Structure 1
């Protein structure tokens, strides 16, 4: 039985007629090429090359073997190249971004399910951060995102809601509100609300840090952050508060933070969004798959909007 490297050493030496250049071609040592040729000659039972201190050349048997082996080897290489090319041409990648553990569960569940429904596709999952989620979508780093609503950008399509959760206020355990059973939006006047660095009024997520309560009381701006984990660290240090979804009670419990239900506010919806200019045929099938995954993980998921 011939080994691949023996065949490559034979064909390489037949082409180069030089042990050093053949070794460079195969990325092995000169001694390794010599061993392979000797091993092959033992299998054949005769010399395939005539060697002197000055030259290397094929024997008549070596010429005949070369003429018969090279076309077969080249056909095998071409067949593998065609197979690789065919696979690359038919498998497309859908890049899905998420923020938060609950959205991440859905993204990974849908990512596992999607290739079974659409064999020509696979899903690559990426976590995004508060400060750059929409930028990563617009810059083409991800194709679809699972984000908190509302998203009202004119260049972005908002798909169906995947799951919905009650809002809570994350406050330091040392704060007076931490001892309450619930708080209202009027109570936000008693905290400094953390906000995303560089975000402008009316921008995505800005509804989580209003400037005033419904009755007009001012709400102090808290520290600026870039990631959700950074926001939690700020709260734990006692220097701010942040409005969050109730998933935090399952995934983000930590010392120094109390999560208090925030009543009188709409639920926080999470939905699929993508650029209006993104016309991939994978969008609709993935939306359906993500909805199925969401219902498996969140049985109370609302029916999609028409």
Structure 2
């Protein structure tokens, strides 16, 4: 049995995990602000202690060995438990440390960004890093602690928490309606134009309570970014359907008007958080999820 003082160092395990997650020594060194040779020494030390080859290294890439994959799984668990112990040891102190968040662009711009000062004031020792992508991400590959996702979640082993729901609203600018005509019934929408989302296409479908089929509206333009669609609608290009958090301020300010309130036949948009580390073992993640639920609840 390996003696206690001969067990791998936490720093070496963290270096090994980081190299695998970052896809190589150079990128991992860049992210961590250390030299590639320092990381190489950590891996060599691990291999000598464990008497296995963890990585096959070439000048361009790395390949993890079967033994390395087994060590990787154990290393992740050890690092999680180590962080949990640190949290316990500092339980009387305010939550602190880095927290990496991945979220869709519209959610960051319209929900998170306007309220983050509140979170920072309450938890000044948590260092937030926010990355914006609209697709489901690999939390390990993207170096994210938590991902905020909109819509139905795919089947997954990841931990998740329901944060709230967002209603859908069909809107247009008053100037556009003054030019094209204000619709009196949903069927009148066919005389207007629609600014469409490139994906997902279902956002462009306009179903109304009491109508057997969707209302088809001619396209004005299609865009692959929700913020671009919003700006085009604000600019008077046509109508579009948005989650309410994207256009609530625009409606309140009179820049947009809602068409046929309460008549859209569509389920609210689920807002969820996905994460890998149990909340009980990472206090900064727990307080962030509790806070974000209060601003996302619907």
The alignment's TM-score, normalised by the length of structure 2, stands at: 0.47
User: Which protein shows a greater Rg?
Assistant: 1
